[in-house]
Amino acid sequence: MSLRDELQRIYDQHGQLTPALVVTEARDEGHPLHARFEWDDGVAAEKYRQVQAQELIRSVKVVYREATEKEAARTVRGFHAVRRETGHVYEPVEKVAEDQFTRSLVLRDMEREWRALHRRYAHFKEFVDMVRSDLGEQAA
């Protein structure tokens, strides 16, 4: 049975599909998805703390344009993930902006993410309309 089939089975059984339901179902050692999870609580806890740290890092914002009467403040993330040989590391936005090589790495990742988003949703007319509307508002 494929991963999709097993997830569909969980959905059919519960009428919804959530990460919590998948973990609950997969907890049984005989379940087909059991081996796809880390069940050592020490290892899993450390990985979860790393996810929490990522969320903390991504939550930091830097204001680059103060709010006016007509417009809300404009912000960017304070740290950007930069692909390195050893994996992603977070760099301060100022370093990304100043360093041509780092900036080009981030821009390549942006393009890859945009293309993936486009492949995923371009077949929805509403997505295309939404993007056009957002771009039109920003141009004004």
pLDDT digits (tens, 9 = 90+) for 75-116: 999 999 998 889 889 999 999 999 999 999 999 999 999 999
pTM of the model: 0.69
Residue among 110, 111, 106, 109 nearest 94 (CA):
106
The pLDDT confidence band at residue 1, using thresholds 50, 70 and 90, is confident
Q: Can you give the residue range of the structural domain that contains 32?
A: 3-37
Domain membership of residue 66 (yes or no) is no
Number of folded domains that form the chain: 2
Q: Which residues of 111-136 are buried (b: 16+ CB within 10 A; e: fewer)?
A: eeeeeeeeeeeeeeeeeeeeeeeeee
- Same domain, yes or no, for 83 and 134? yes
Domain membership of residue 84 (yes or no) is yes
Domain membership of residue 122 (yes or no) is yes
Domain membership of residue 47 (yes or no) is no
* pLDDT tops 80 at residue 139: no
Domain membership of residue 125 (yes or no) is yes
- Same domain, yes or no, for 82 and 134? yes
